[in-house]
Amino acid sequence: MAEANIAWMLVASALVLLMTPGLAFFYGGLVREKNVISTLMYSFVSLGVVSVVWVLWGYSLAFSGGNEFIGTFNALGLKGISFESGPDGAVPEAMIVIFQMMFAIITPALITGAFAERFKFSTYLVFLVVWITIVYVPIAHWVWYTDGMEGGISGWIYGIGAADFAGGTVVHINAGIAAIVAAAMVGRRRSIDKGIEPHNVPFVLLGAGLLWFGWFGFNAGSGLAADGVAINAFLVTNTAAAVAGLVWVIAEYQQAGKMSGVGFATGAVAGLVAITPASGSVGVMGSIGVGLGAGIITYLAVRMRHLLKVDDALEVFAVHGMGGIWGALATGIFAVGGLGMIDGEFGLFWANLRATLATIAYSGVMTIIILKALDVIPGLGLRAVEREEDNGLDVSFHGERAYVSDGAD
Protein backbone atom coordinates (compact mmCIF):
# COMPACT_ATOMS: atom_id res chain seq x y z
CA MET A 1 0.00 0.00 0.00
CA ALA A 2 2.86 2.34 0.71
CA GLU A 3 4.21 1.52 -2.71
CA ALA A 4 0.93 2.48 -4.34
CA ASN A 5 0.93 5.76 -2.48
CA ILE A 6 4.52 6.37 -3.47
CA ALA A 7 3.66 5.61 -7.08
CA TRP A 8 0.88 8.17 -6.98
CA MET A 9 2.85 10.79 -5.09
CA LEU A 10 5.82 10.58 -7.46
CA VAL A 11 3.43 11.38 -10.25
CA ALA A 12 1.53 14.00 -8.29
CA SER A 13 4.81 15.76 -7.56
CA ALA A 14 5.78 15.72 -11.20
CA LEU A 15 2.35 17.08 -12.11
CA VAL A 16 2.71 19.97 -9.69
CA LEU A 17 6.17 20.68 -11.03
CA LEU A 18 4.70 20.98 -14.52
CA MET A 19 2.32 23.65 -13.24
CA THR A 20 5.16 26.13 -13.06
CA PRO A 21 5.97 25.92 -16.78
CA GLY A 22 2.21 25.91 -17.30
CA LEU A 23 1.90 29.12 -15.34
CA ALA A 24 4.83 30.56 -17.26
CA PHE A 25 2.94 30.11 -20.52
CA PHE A 26 -0.35 31.27 -19.07
CA TYR A 27 1.32 34.49 -17.98
CA GLY A 28 3.71 34.68 -20.92
CA GLY A 29 0.87 34.71 -23.41
CA LEU A 30 -0.85 37.57 -21.61
CA VAL A 31 1.99 40.07 -21.81
CA ARG A 32 3.38 41.98 -24.75
CA GLU A 33 5.80 40.37 -27.17
CA LYS A 34 8.76 42.30 -25.85
CA ASN A 35 8.33 40.91 -22.33
CA VAL A 36 7.45 37.29 -22.90
CA ILE A 37 10.84 35.78 -22.07
CA SER A 38 10.98 37.90 -18.94
CA THR A 39 7.57 36.68 -17.88
CA LEU A 40 8.44 33.07 -18.61
CA MET A 41 11.69 33.39 -16.72
CA TYR A 42 10.05 34.74 -13.58
CA SER A 43 8.43 31.33 -13.30
CA PHE A 44 11.21 29.15 -14.64
CA VAL A 45 13.89 30.61 -12.45
CA SER A 46 11.75 29.86 -9.44
CA LEU A 47 12.27 26.22 -10.32
CA GLY A 48 15.96 26.92 -9.91
CA VAL A 49 16.07 29.15 -6.85
CA VAL A 50 13.30 27.71 -4.72
CA SER A 51 14.35 24.11 -5.34
CA VAL A 52 17.73 24.91 -3.84
CA VAL A 53 16.39 27.00 -0.96
CA TRP A 54 13.92 24.25 -0.13
CA VAL A 55 16.42 21.43 0.22
CA LEU A 56 18.99 23.60 1.99
CA TRP A 57 16.83 25.24 4.64
CA GLY A 58 13.26 25.81 3.49
CA TYR A 59 11.86 22.40 4.29
CA SER A 60 13.67 22.28 7.60
CA LEU A 61 12.31 25.61 8.76
CA ALA A 62 8.81 24.78 7.65
CA PHE A 63 8.40 21.17 8.64
CA SER A 64 10.99 19.90 11.11
CA GLY A 65 9.67 20.31 14.62
CA GLY A 66 9.81 23.71 16.24
CA ASN A 67 6.96 25.53 17.88
CA GLU A 68 3.61 26.87 16.75
CA PHE A 69 5.21 29.56 14.66
CA ILE A 70 8.30 28.20 12.99
CA GLY A 71 10.27 25.01 12.52
CA THR A 72 13.91 24.33 13.23
CA PHE A 73 17.26 24.01 11.51
CA ASN A 74 17.40 20.30 12.32
CA ALA A 75 16.88 19.14 8.80
CA LEU A 76 19.20 21.58 7.02
CA GLY A 77 20.26 20.04 3.74
CA LEU A 78 17.58 17.42 4.41
CA LYS A 79 19.75 15.85 7.09
CA GLY A 80 18.01 12.91 8.66
CA ILE A 81 15.01 12.85 6.35
CA SER A 82 13.70 9.33 5.99
CA PHE A 83 13.20 7.44 2.75
CA GLU A 84 11.34 4.66 4.54
CA SER A 85 7.57 4.40 4.45
CA GLY A 86 5.69 4.83 7.68
CA PRO A 87 2.92 2.66 9.11
CA ASP A 88 -0.40 2.29 7.31
CA GLY A 89 1.09 3.09 3.97
CA ALA A 90 2.28 6.54 4.91
CA VAL A 91 4.75 7.70 2.28
CA PRO A 92 8.34 8.40 3.35
CA GLU A 93 9.05 11.89 4.61
CA ALA A 94 11.34 12.46 1.63
CA MET A 95 8.29 12.14 -0.60
CA ILE A 96 6.62 14.94 1.35
CA VAL A 97 9.74 17.08 1.00
CA ILE A 98 9.40 16.78 -2.75
CA PHE A 99 5.68 17.34 -2.94
CA GLN A 100 5.84 20.38 -0.67
CA MET A 101 8.76 21.74 -2.68
CA MET A 102 6.60 22.00 -5.75
CA PHE A 103 4.13 24.19 -3.85
CA ALA A 104 6.91 26.46 -2.67
CA ILE A 105 8.16 26.80 -6.25
CA ILE A 106 4.89 27.90 -7.78
CA THR A 107 3.78 30.34 -5.08
CA PRO A 108 6.20 33.20 -5.79
CA ALA A 109 5.83 32.49 -9.50
CA LEU A 110 2.14 33.29 -9.09
CA ILE A 111 3.01 36.69 -7.65
CA THR A 112 5.02 37.70 -10.69
CA GLY A 113 1.88 38.28 -12.72
CA ALA A 114 1.32 41.41 -10.66
CA PHE A 115 4.56 43.15 -11.55
CA ALA A 116 5.18 41.58 -14.95
CA GLU A 117 6.62 43.78 -17.71
CA ARG A 118 8.58 45.98 -15.33
CA PHE A 119 10.21 44.18 -12.36
CA LYS A 120 14.00 44.05 -12.37
CA PHE A 121 15.14 40.49 -12.89
CA SER A 122 18.25 40.47 -10.73
CA THR A 123 16.32 41.89 -7.79
CA TYR A 124 13.67 39.25 -8.35
CA LEU A 125 16.22 36.52 -7.67
CA VAL A 126 16.94 38.04 -4.27
CA PHE A 127 13.24 38.49 -3.66
CA LEU A 128 12.67 34.79 -4.28
CA VAL A 129 15.16 33.72 -1.62
CA VAL A 130 13.95 36.18 0.97
CA TRP A 131 10.23 35.87 0.36
CA ILE A 132 10.23 32.07 0.46
CA THR A 133 12.20 32.10 3.67
CA ILE A 134 10.34 34.70 5.65
CA VAL A 135 6.87 34.70 4.16
CA TYR A 136 6.12 31.34 2.61
CA VAL A 137 7.90 29.05 5.05
CA PRO A 138 6.24 30.40 8.22
CA ILE A 139 2.75 30.32 6.74
CA ALA A 140 3.30 26.77 5.51
CA HIS A 141 4.40 25.87 9.03
CA TRP A 142 1.35 27.46 10.61
CA VAL A 143 -1.12 25.76 8.32
CA TRP A 144 0.34 22.35 7.67
CA TYR A 145 2.89 21.41 10.32
CA THR A 146 1.91 18.84 12.90
CA ASP A 147 3.98 16.23 14.65
CA GLY A 148 0.94 14.02 14.52
CA MET A 149 0.97 13.27 18.21
CA GLU A 150 -1.93 13.67 20.61
CA GLY A 151 -1.28 16.95 22.39
CA GLY A 152 1.86 17.42 20.37
CA ILE A 153 3.08 20.44 18.48
CA SER A 154 1.52 21.85 15.35
CA GLY A 155 1.35 25.14 13.51
CA TRP A 156 -1.08 27.53 15.13
CA ILE A 157 -3.50 27.68 12.23
CA TYR A 158 -3.55 23.92 12.07
CA GLY A 159 -4.19 24.06 15.79
CA ILE A 160 -7.33 26.16 15.54
CA GLY A 161 -8.84 23.59 13.23
CA ALA A 162 -8.69 25.42 9.95
CA ALA A 163 -8.81 23.16 6.91
CA ASP A 164 -6.66 24.03 3.96
CA PHE A 165 -6.49 20.78 2.09
CA ALA A 166 -4.21 21.77 -0.74
CA GLY A 167 -2.97 25.27 -0.17
CA GLY A 168 -5.68 27.88 -0.50
CA THR A 169 -4.15 30.07 2.18
CA VAL A 170 -0.51 29.07 1.94
CA VAL A 171 -0.35 29.32 -1.81
CA HIS A 172 -3.17 31.36 -3.27
CA ILE A 173 -4.24 33.93 -0.71
CA ASN A 174 -0.62 34.40 0.18
CA ALA A 175 0.40 34.98 -3.42
CA GLY A 176 -2.64 37.13 -4.17
CA ILE A 177 -1.98 39.51 -1.31
CA ALA A 178 1.73 39.72 -2.01
CA ALA A 179 0.78 40.43 -5.60
CA ILE A 180 -1.46 43.43 -5.00
CA VAL A 181 1.02 44.88 -2.55
CA ALA A 182 3.86 44.43 -5.00
CA ALA A 183 1.88 45.91 -7.87
CA ALA A 184 1.17 49.00 -5.83
CA MET A 185 4.78 49.41 -4.76
CA VAL A 186 6.32 48.82 -8.18
CA GLY A 187 3.95 51.23 -9.86
CA ARG A 188 2.02 51.22 -13.11
CA ARG A 189 3.49 50.18 -16.41
CA ARG A 190 4.34 52.97 -18.80
CA SER A 191 1.84 53.43 -21.63
CA ILE A 192 -0.90 51.05 -20.59
CA ASP A 193 -3.68 53.50 -21.07
CA LYS A 194 -4.94 52.12 -24.33
CA GLY A 195 -5.25 48.64 -22.86
CA ILE A 196 -2.79 45.90 -23.63
CA GLU A 197 -3.88 42.93 -25.68
CA PRO A 198 -2.33 39.54 -24.85
CA HIS A 199 0.36 38.84 -27.40
CA ASN A 200 -0.28 35.11 -27.73
CA VAL A 201 -3.66 33.69 -26.76
CA PRO A 202 -2.76 30.11 -27.72
CA PHE A 203 0.03 30.25 -25.13
CA VAL A 204 -2.52 31.37 -22.54
CA LEU A 205 -4.64 28.34 -23.35
CA LEU A 206 -1.64 26.04 -23.41
CA GLY A 207 -0.72 27.27 -19.97
CA ALA A 208 -4.27 26.86 -18.73
CA GLY A 209 -4.33 23.31 -20.06
CA LEU A 210 -1.10 22.41 -18.31
CA LEU A 211 -2.31 24.06 -15.11
CA TRP A 212 -5.59 22.14 -15.20
CA PHE A 213 -3.66 18.90 -15.79
CA GLY A 214 -1.10 19.59 -13.08
CA TRP A 215 -3.71 20.71 -10.60
CA PHE A 216 -4.88 17.11 -10.27
CA GLY A 217 -1.52 16.45 -8.66
CA PHE A 218 -1.84 19.57 -6.54
CA ASN A 219 -5.23 18.69 -5.10
CA ALA A 220 -5.60 14.93 -5.45
CA GLY A 221 -2.03 14.51 -4.22
CA SER A 222 -2.60 16.54 -1.10
CA GLY A 223 -4.00 13.57 0.81
CA LEU A 224 -0.66 11.85 0.19
CA ALA A 225 -2.42 8.65 -0.78
CA ALA A 226 -4.13 6.98 -3.71
CA ASP A 227 -7.52 6.52 -2.13
CA GLY A 228 -11.11 7.71 -2.15
CA VAL A 229 -10.13 11.13 -0.85
CA ALA A 230 -7.84 11.57 -3.82
CA ILE A 231 -10.58 10.49 -6.19
CA ASN A 232 -12.98 12.97 -4.65
CA ALA A 233 -10.41 15.73 -4.82
CA PHE A 234 -9.81 14.94 -8.48
CA LEU A 235 -13.50 15.05 -9.28
CA VAL A 236 -14.32 18.26 -7.46
CA THR A 237 -11.22 19.94 -8.87
CA ASN A 238 -12.33 19.24 -12.40
CA THR A 239 -15.91 20.26 -11.73
CA ALA A 240 -15.08 23.58 -10.10
CA ALA A 241 -12.71 24.48 -12.93
CA ALA A 242 -15.34 23.65 -15.51
CA VAL A 243 -18.06 25.65 -13.78
CA ALA A 244 -15.97 28.74 -13.15
CA GLY A 245 -14.66 28.73 -16.72
CA LEU A 246 -18.22 28.67 -18.00
CA VAL A 247 -19.29 31.44 -15.63
CA TRP A 248 -16.59 33.69 -17.06
CA VAL A 249 -17.49 33.20 -20.70
CA ILE A 250 -21.19 33.55 -19.94
CA ALA A 251 -20.53 36.78 -18.07
CA GLU A 252 -18.48 38.08 -20.99
CA TYR A 253 -21.24 37.11 -23.36
CA GLN A 254 -23.75 39.05 -21.33
CA GLN A 255 -21.50 42.04 -21.29
CA ALA A 256 -19.94 42.09 -24.75
CA GLY A 257 -21.53 39.36 -26.81
CA LYS A 258 -18.27 37.45 -27.06
CA MET A 259 -16.65 34.59 -25.18
CA SER A 260 -12.92 34.95 -25.01
CA GLY A 261 -10.27 32.30 -24.72
CA VAL A 262 -8.49 34.33 -22.09
CA GLY A 263 -11.76 34.60 -20.19
CA PHE A 264 -12.38 30.87 -20.18
CA ALA A 265 -8.80 30.20 -19.11
CA THR A 266 -8.97 32.81 -16.37
CA GLY A 267 -12.26 31.49 -15.07
CA ALA A 268 -11.02 27.91 -15.04
CA VAL A 269 -7.93 28.92 -13.09
CA ALA A 270 -10.12 30.84 -10.65
CA GLY A 271 -12.20 27.71 -10.14
CA LEU A 272 -9.07 25.66 -9.55
CA VAL A 273 -7.85 28.20 -7.03
CA ALA A 274 -11.12 28.25 -5.12
CA ILE A 275 -11.51 24.48 -4.94
CA THR A 276 -7.95 24.01 -3.68
CA PRO A 277 -8.60 24.34 0.06
CA ALA A 278 -11.97 22.68 -0.30
CA SER A 279 -11.02 19.70 -2.38
CA GLY A 280 -10.60 17.44 0.61
CA SER A 281 -13.94 18.22 2.13
CA VAL A 282 -16.61 19.10 -0.41
CA GLY A 283 -18.51 16.76 -2.67
CA VAL A 284 -19.30 17.17 -6.32
CA MET A 285 -22.44 19.24 -5.75
CA GLY A 286 -20.54 21.47 -3.36
CA SER A 287 -17.85 21.92 -5.97
CA ILE A 288 -20.44 23.31 -8.35
CA GLY A 289 -21.22 25.90 -5.69
CA VAL A 290 -17.54 26.63 -5.19
CA GLY A 291 -17.06 27.02 -8.93
CA LEU A 292 -20.08 29.28 -9.39
CA GLY A 293 -18.95 31.54 -6.60
CA ALA A 294 -15.38 31.57 -7.85
CA GLY A 295 -16.45 32.56 -11.33
CA ILE A 296 -18.72 35.35 -10.23
CA ILE A 297 -16.43 36.74 -7.53
CA THR A 298 -13.27 36.79 -9.59
CA TYR A 299 -15.07 38.23 -12.60
CA LEU A 300 -16.36 41.09 -10.52
CA ALA A 301 -13.01 41.44 -8.81
CA VAL A 302 -11.26 41.90 -12.14
CA ARG A 303 -13.77 44.53 -13.18
CA MET A 304 -13.36 46.37 -9.90
CA ARG A 305 -9.60 46.17 -10.04
CA HIS A 306 -9.78 48.03 -13.35
CA LEU A 307 -11.18 50.97 -11.46
CA LEU A 308 -8.12 51.12 -9.24
CA LYS A 309 -4.90 52.78 -10.12
CA VAL A 310 -3.00 49.68 -9.04
CA ASP A 311 -1.62 47.91 -12.07
CA ASP A 312 -1.86 44.24 -11.05
CA ALA A 313 -0.93 43.38 -14.58
CA LEU A 314 -2.27 39.84 -14.82
CA GLU A 315 -4.98 40.10 -12.13
CA VAL A 316 -3.23 37.93 -9.57
CA PHE A 317 -5.09 39.50 -6.71
CA ALA A 318 -8.49 39.12 -8.32
CA VAL A 319 -7.93 35.52 -9.38
CA HIS A 320 -5.70 34.06 -6.68
CA GLY A 321 -6.38 36.43 -3.83
CA MET A 322 -10.14 36.76 -4.11
CA GLY A 323 -10.49 33.26 -5.54
CA GLY A 324 -8.45 31.92 -2.65
CA ILE A 325 -10.41 33.82 -0.02
CA TRP A 326 -13.67 32.62 -1.49
CA GLY A 327 -12.30 29.07 -1.50
CA ALA A 328 -11.24 29.24 2.13
CA LEU A 329 -14.66 30.44 3.21
CA ALA A 330 -16.49 28.16 0.81
CA THR A 331 -14.71 25.23 2.40
CA GLY A 332 -16.55 26.09 5.55
CA ILE A 333 -19.81 26.50 3.69
CA PHE A 334 -19.79 23.44 1.49
CA ALA A 335 -17.78 20.90 3.51
CA VAL A 336 -19.57 17.62 3.95
CA GLY A 337 -19.08 15.02 6.64
CA GLY A 338 -19.79 12.24 4.24
CA LEU A 339 -16.21 11.53 3.35
CA GLY A 340 -15.37 11.13 7.01
CA MET A 341 -13.10 14.13 6.99
CA ILE A 342 -14.81 17.15 8.43
CA ASP A 343 -17.55 17.45 10.99
CA GLY A 344 -18.34 20.85 12.39
CA GLU A 345 -18.91 23.13 9.47
CA PHE A 346 -19.57 26.28 11.39
CA GLY A 347 -16.43 26.02 13.46
CA LEU A 348 -14.59 25.32 10.26
CA PHE A 349 -15.91 28.49 8.66
CA TRP A 350 -14.61 30.64 11.53
CA ALA A 351 -11.31 28.83 11.72
CA ASN A 352 -10.81 29.33 8.01
CA LEU A 353 -11.76 32.97 8.29
CA ARG A 354 -9.12 33.48 10.97
CA ALA A 355 -6.59 31.62 8.86
CA THR A 356 -7.43 33.83 5.93
CA LEU A 357 -7.11 37.05 7.88
CA ALA A 358 -3.83 35.98 9.41
CA THR A 359 -2.44 35.09 6.00
CA ILE A 360 -3.55 38.39 4.53
CA ALA A 361 -2.03 40.39 7.33
CA TYR A 362 1.26 38.54 7.52
CA SER A 363 1.80 38.23 3.78
CA GLY A 364 0.82 41.84 3.15
CA VAL A 365 3.00 43.38 5.81
CA MET A 366 6.04 41.21 5.27
CA THR A 367 5.93 41.62 1.51
CA ILE A 368 5.86 45.39 1.92
CA ILE A 369 8.86 45.26 4.23
CA ILE A 370 10.82 43.00 1.91
CA LEU A 371 10.14 45.08 -1.17
CA LYS A 372 10.96 48.34 0.63
CA ALA A 373 14.27 46.86 1.69
CA LEU A 374 15.07 45.61 -1.79
CA ASP A 375 14.18 48.98 -3.20
CA VAL A 376 16.71 50.87 -1.11
CA ILE A 377 19.58 48.41 -1.12
CA PRO A 378 22.18 49.82 -3.51
CA GLY A 379 22.53 47.79 -6.69
CA LEU A 380 19.07 46.36 -6.35
CA GLY A 381 15.89 48.42 -6.79
CA LEU A 382 12.52 47.11 -7.87
CA ARG A 383 11.95 48.51 -11.26
CA ALA A 384 13.44 48.54 -14.71
CA VAL A 385 14.50 52.02 -15.80
CA GLU A 386 12.45 53.70 -18.50
CA ARG A 387 14.62 52.72 -21.40
CA GLU A 388 14.73 49.08 -20.26
CA GLU A 389 10.97 49.02 -19.96
CA ASP A 390 10.44 50.69 -23.33
CA ASN A 391 12.82 48.35 -25.09
CA GLY A 392 11.21 45.42 -23.34
CA LEU A 393 12.59 43.35 -20.52
CA ASP A 394 13.55 40.51 -22.84
CA VAL A 395 16.24 42.51 -24.53
CA SER A 396 17.10 44.53 -21.45
CA PHE A 397 17.54 41.79 -18.86
CA HIS A 398 17.79 38.58 -20.85
CA GLY A 399 19.64 39.66 -23.97
CA GLU A 400 17.17 37.83 -26.16
CA ARG A 401 14.24 38.43 -28.40
CA ALA A 402 11.44 35.91 -28.15
CA TYR A 403 10.67 35.53 -31.84
CA VAL A 404 13.16 36.07 -34.62
CA SER A 405 12.13 35.68 -38.24
CA ASP A 406 14.42 34.81 -41.08
CA GLY A 407 15.42 37.82 -43.12
CA ALA A 408 13.91 40.82 -41.41
CA ASP A 409 12.56 40.20 -37.97
Partner 1 sequence: MIKIEAIVRPERIGAVVDAMDAAGCGGYNYVNVTGRGKQQGIEVFTGRGASTTRRMALPKVLITTVIEDSKKEAVIAAIVAAARSGDEGNIGDGKIFVSHVAEVVRVRTGERDGDAL
Footprint of partner 1 (CB under 8 A) = 30, 34, 190-191, 194-197, 248, 252, 255-256, 258, 260, 262-263, 266, 299, 302-303, 306, 314-315, 390-391, 395, 398-401, 405-409
Q: Which does 306 bind (CB under 5 to 8 A by kind): partner 1, its own copies, none?
A: partner 1
x/- letters, 191..220, toward its own copies (CB under 8 A): ------xxxxxxx-xx-xxx-xx--xx--x
Among the listed residues 61, 131, 45, 70, the one whose alpha carbon sits nearest the alpha carbon of residue 100: 61
Nearest to 46 by CA among 112, 138, 139: 112
Using CB under 8 A as the binding rule, whether residue 289 contacts its own copies is answered as: no
Q: How many CA atoms lie within 13 A of 150 on its CB side?
A: 0
Closest CB 217 distance from partner 1, rounded Å: 26
CB of 379 or CB of 405, closer to partner 1: 405
Of residues 260, 347, 353, 388, which one binds its own copies by CB under 8 A? 260
Q: Which does 397 bind (CB under 5 to 8 A by kind): partner 1, its own copies, none?
A: its own copies
Site string for its own copies, 215-254 (x = CB under 8 A): -xx--x----xxxxxxxx-xx--xx-xxx-xx--x--xx-
Name which of 236 and 270 has its Cβ closer to partner 1: 270
Nearest to 389 by CA among 32, 55, 87: 32
**393 touches its own copies (CB under 8 A):** no
Question: In 10 A of CB 372, how many CB atoms?
Answer: 12
397 is a contact residue toward its own copies (CB under 8 A): yes
Give the rounded distance of the alpha carbon of 90 from its chain centre: 26
| Shortest separation between residue 305's beta carbon and partner 1, angstroms | 8
First-to-final CA distance of the chain: 57
Backbone φ, ψ for residue 391 (5° rounding): -70, -15
The option from partner 1, its own copies, none interacting with 299 (CB < 5 to 8 A, set by class) reads: partner 1
The neighbouring-strand residues paired with 119 are 383
Around 77, how many Cα atoms within 13 Å sit in the side-chain half-sphere?
Answer: 1
Does residue 113 contact residue 43 with C-beta atoms inside 8 Å?
no
